């Protein structure tokens, strides 16, 4: 299996507080990695370092096999899109292609095709002209996932995407993620869903007291028996 992301001796501090201490792990292409840990343990900090939003104090994060930060699709934890401006579903998803416009000021046909393809992959193309603010919580989260998909064909990062979803919507959303992973997408997901049935990836990154450890999901679950 080819590597997608490698962390080598990554340490990150906020002032005198060391949040991540000498993290070493490998994420392979087509991995589905769940990042777990207590509130404030450093999960979002690690994701921000992978995204390039913060710089480690030491160590480095390496992208391999033509993977690049700019090719990451990101679904943040708190998305206030419907509070910012009225928009249709297709407008929301199109915004995921902004990083591909370069010096162009307007969306091109390829951007619109990519947005529609993302909606089609999630079986919500029929919603494309609907008002985003009128959708249910589960539908909104699918639309935001489609926006992240429109930005990438390689790596998808999600920060607690099941927040505010009911049980049925959460299961449907996780099933969508499983199918996307099977299609070849590398997924990294912060989650608090620690039931065995919800740890849906093949790897776990656990952060505790600034220590970062990587396990296979089966080994992680076995440690609780």
Per-residue model confidence as pLDDT tens digits over 186-196: 999 998 876 65
pLDDT value at residue 9? 97
pLDDT by position in tens, the chain (length 225): 699 999 999 999 998 899 999 999 999 999 999 999 998 899 999 999 999 999 999 999 999 887 788 779 999 886 655 445 578 999 999 988 877 665 566 778 888 999 999 999 999 999 999 999 889 888 998 999 999 999 887 899 999 888 778 888 888 888 899 999 999 999 999 988 766 566 688 999 999 999 999 999 888 888 776
Give pTM, 2 decimals.
0.89
pLDDT value at residue 53? 93
Q: What are the start-end ranges of the H helices in 52-157? A: 81-84, 89-94, 109-121, 137-150
pLDDT value at residue 71? 79
Which residues, other chains included, contact 55 with Cβ-Cβ below 8 Å and sequence gap of 6+? Answer: 49
Surface-to-core class of residue 193, CB atoms within 10 Å of its CB (0-12 exposed, 13-18 middle, 19+ buried):
middle
Which residues, other chains included, contact 117 with Cβ-Cβ below 8 Å and sequence gap of 6+? Answer: 150
């Amino acid at each position: 299996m080819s590597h997608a992301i490698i962390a080598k001796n990554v340490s990150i501090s906020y002032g005198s507080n060391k949040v991540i201490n000498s993290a070493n792990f490998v994420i392979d292409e087509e991995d589905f990695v769940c990042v777990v840990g207590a509130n404030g343990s450093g999960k979002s900090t690690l994701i921000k370092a992978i995204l390039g939003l913060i710089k480690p104090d030491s160590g480095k994060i390496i992208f391999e096999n033509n993977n690049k930060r700019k090719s990451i699709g990101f679904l943040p934890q708190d998305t206030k899109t419907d509070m910012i401006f009225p928009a249709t579903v297709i407008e929301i998803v199109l915004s995921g292609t902004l990083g591909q416009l370069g010096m162009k000021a307007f969306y091109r046909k390829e951007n619109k095709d990519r947005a529609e393809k993302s909606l089609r992959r999630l079986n919500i193309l029929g919603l494309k002209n609907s008002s985003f603010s009128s959708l249910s919580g589960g539908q909104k989260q699918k639309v935001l996932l489609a926006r992240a998909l429109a930005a990438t064909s390689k790596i998808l990062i999600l920060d607690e995407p099941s927040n505010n979803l009911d049980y049925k919507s959460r299961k449907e959303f996780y099933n969508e993620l499983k199918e996307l992973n099977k299609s070849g997408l590398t997924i990294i997901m912060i989650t608090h869903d620690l039931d065995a049935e919800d740890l849906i990836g093949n790897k776990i990154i656990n952060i505790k007291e600034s220590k970062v450890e990587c396990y296979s999901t089966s080994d992680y679950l076995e440690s609780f028996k």
